[in-house]
Amino acid sequence: MSGLVGTIVEAWDELRIHRLRVLLALIGVAVAVTAITGVTAAVQMMNQAFKESADRQSGRSVTLDLYAWPTGAAGTAQPTEQQYAAEFDRIVERYGITYATRQLGGPIRFRFPTGTAIVNAQVVDPDYGVITRFRTTEGRWFTDADTQRFAPVAVVNEAFLAALGVTDLSSHPTVQLGTDTPVRTEVIGVYHDEWSDAPPSAYLLYDHVTRWGLLGADMANQTPTFKVWVPPDLAAQLRPLLQRDLAAALPGTQVEVPEPFTGQNVLDGASRWVVLGIGGFSLLLGGLGLVNIALVTVRFRIREIGIRRSFGATSGRVFFGVLMESVVATVVAGVVGVVLAVAVIKNIPVEKMFGGSIEDMPPFPVAAAVTGMVCATAVGALAGLIPAIVAVRVKVIDAIRY
Amino acid sequence: MSLLELSDVTRSVRLPDDRVLHILRGITLSVDAGEHISVVGRSGTGKSTLLNILGLLDEPTSGGYLLEGTSVAKLSGRRRARRRGDDFGFVFQQFNLLPGRTALENVAAPLMYARGRAFWRRFRLAADMLDRVGLGDRLDEMPDKLSGGEQQRVAIARALVRSPRVILADEPTGALDVDTGGEIMSLLDEIASQTGAALIAITHDLAVAARAQRHYRLAEGVLVPITLNAPGRITEWVGDVPTDRPDDAVATALS
């Protein structure tokens, strides 16, 4: 026990006393560990940013889109919108799907202070917000309670709000929509314009739109798309079942459930190897620097090693001691590297770097940090091996006289 | 049974030009516990080699070396190192203090290789030993801030901190002035006597050598008992004198 503790204490003492040398030797190792850990974390964040961006476009992984449309075949009656909705509800209930929405997009008339304008609106259910990670810059997205409200509510973009002549929701702005029987709608949420000079756009609740007959002639003839968010491991099984059940329940209807978009993992395949390759190469360079300095140091310390042998240090102890110096040093460098990586990652300007904020920040890549630490320690052991052999091969009497 | 016993020990090395250099020839020496022995001789006569063999830092080419009756030749490298740490304390001419470490850390350094209580209480033991050599108030001083005499005191404290059976001093006063050298030797004698350790000192200085109970002269690798009078003059040769070099020259150099 005292031998092991003594070796570690001795190694630590050496590092403490030669801290400048150690610092110089270990910069490379620390940078390499920072690179491995930091780049992995950054790539994971980038992945998450891409994923969330994709989620906003086409729903979370895995979102299945159910398209149904009448075939127009002779002898079959076209299902009504209510039939579609009822069958869709039945399927959602049958498979215990938690998040599901209808979606229909098209022009709806809004009466702005400057006059009536046709706005491209999306008509959805409240679950749409969860499925697509919908974010408002002000106000809120729809809740289930909103569907029970008598008057419709809307979530609009900033251009829409500007067209209303208001800058925020503090005045609870309203807008009339529809033509023959207009209805006043309260704006409860605002979302960011997708691009500059974006035209006004809005989201409305499906139940409100159908209740008030707000769909234009074009939209009234359309069948809504059904979106369901299902567990990724069940998506492949569910897809044909949903298609089969809906088609069976709605005769004369063509049903399609396309292969879902699963996104792309930036850290997959070649890019992963490039990242690891850069980190590994940095670590190799750091290790070579360490070997170089450790060798010079051992030569510088030959006399000291001789003196320690006169104290009774066995060759094994000398070997292990020199090796441990390198290992302890690289472990310290590894810790510094990981801390640096954490500091960098925590201060990354996410919006600027990835073009959008991240809702679900991925956890710090502990596996990458551990990998970096293990690699650094292994490099330390390898780098310490050569000087340790040199230290042991020195004759004690030559060393004392050195 | 003697503490150390060399019998007909030789040490030779092969030179790059393939000649063999005989450093020690037929050394026979017996040292008992608590004895003080001095070895005088000119530079290059093999004094340090003899000390290294005695301290298990080097191995004889031939001959026997018994350490408390155990043949050193039969000890493994690991056992030799352990016995070196347990039984011997070294005092060097150039002090050989570890750079970058305080006086306390230097004295505690040999205890890093001890086991049990000695290891865990190393700083307490080192502080006590520094106190004994009169440096109790300089524990945290770096060696380069100490005078030569103080550095050698630290070295003596370091040599004695593991309570060795034998103290091997290689020119312990060689880097010190006469007065400081005298003080250091008095300290070494005193502490060695108190701890009951045998003291084997190698020196050029006959005055230093004269402090010992038994005196030897090493010339041309041959160890010869001599008698020194109080001021440190060789008064009597005992045994054979090597014949391949005029000994009067050696005597002149030593006197």
Element housing B7 (H / E): strand B4-14
Residue B248: which pLDDT band, with cuts at 50, 70 and 90? very low
Give residue B22's identity as a one-letter amino acid code: H
Give the B-side interface with A, CB within 8 Å: 48-49, 52, 55, 57-58, 77-78, 81-86, 88, 90, 92, 96, 98-101, 105, 109-110, 112-116, 119-120, 162
| Inter-chain touch A313–B81, beta carbons under 8 Å | yes
Neighbour count for residue B59 (Cβ, 10 Å): 13
Residues of B in contact with A5 (CB under 8 A): 119
| Inter-chain touch A400–B57, beta carbons under 8 Å | yes
- Position A203 scores a pLDDT of 95
Residue A47: which pLDDT band, with cuts at 50, 70 and 90? confident
CB-nearest to B85 from A312, A316, A397 is: A312
Secondary structure (3-state) at A71: coil
- Position B246 scores a pLDDT of 38
Domain boundaries, chain A: 2-55+265-401, 63-256
Average pLDDT over residues B8-12: 94
| Inter-chain touch A310–B81, beta carbons under 8 Å | no
For chain B, what is the mean pLDDT? Answer: 84
CB-nearest to B119 from A6, A303, A316 is: A6
Tens of pLDDT, residues B194-242: 888 899 999 888 888 888 889 999 988 899 998 876 555 555 555 444 4
CB-nearest to A6 from B52, B83, B112 is: B112
Domains of chain B: 4-254 (3.40.50.300)
| Inter-chain touch A309–B115, beta carbons under 8 Å | no
Residues of A in contact with B90 (CB under 8 A): 310
* Bridging pattern class, strands A183-191 and B88-91: unpaired
Q: Percent of chain B having pLDDT more than 90?
A: 38
| Inter-chain touch B84–A315, beta carbons under 8 Å | no
C-alpha closest to that of A185 among A142, A128, A243, A224: A142
Q: Could you tell me how many CB contacts below 8 A there are between chain A and chain B? A: 72
Secondary structure (3-state) at A399: helix
- pLDDT over 90 (residue B25): yes
Average pLDDT over residues A244-262: 82
For chain A, what is the mean pLDDT? Answer: 81
- Position A5 scores a pLDDT of 81
Residue B255: which pLDDT band, with cuts at 50, 70 and 90? very low
Average pLDDT over residues B7-25: 91
| Inter-chain touch A313–B105, beta carbons under 8 Å | no
Residue A397: which pLDDT band, with cuts at 50, 70 and 90? confident
Residue A267: which pLDDT band, with cuts at 50, 70 and 90? low
- pLDDT over 50 (residue B67): yes
- Position B235 scores a pLDDT of 58
Average pLDDT over residues A363-389: 79
Tens of pLDDT, residues A62-105: 888 888 887 776 666 677 777 888 888 888 888 888 899 999 88
Distance between CA A90 and CA A75 in Å, rounded? 25
φ, ψ of residue A230 in degrees (nearest 5) = -125, 160
Average pLDDT over residues A166-181: 86
User: Distance from B37 to chain A by nearest Cα, in Å?
Assistant: 20
- Position A266 scores a pLDDT of 55
Of residues A3 and A231, the one with the higher pLDDT is A231
| Inter-chain touch A2–B98, beta carbons under 8 Å | no
| Inter-chain touch A312–B110, beta carbons under 8 Å | yes
Residue A361: which pLDDT band, with cuts at 50, 70 and 90? low
- pTM of the shown model: 0.59
Least confident of A175-184, A292-301, B216-225, B246-255: B246-255
Least confident of A61-75, A343-357, B45-59, B120-134: A343-357
User: Distance from B225 to chain A by nearest Cα, in Å?
Assistant: 26
CB-count burial class (<10 Å; 0-12, 13-18, 19+) for A186:
middle
Average pLDDT over residues A247-267: 75
Closest residue in A to B53 (Cα) is A397
Q: Measured in Å, how far apart are chain B's first and last C-alpha atoms?
A: 35
| In contact, B54 and B84? CB cutoff 8 Å | no
| In contact, A30 and A372? CB cutoff 8 Å | no
Of A1-5, A124-128, B147-151, give the range with the top mean pLDDT. A124-128
The predicted complex's ipTM stands at 0.80
Tens of pLDDT, residues B157-189: 898 888 899 999 988 887 777 777 788 888 888
| In contact, B185 and B150? CB cutoff 8 Å | no
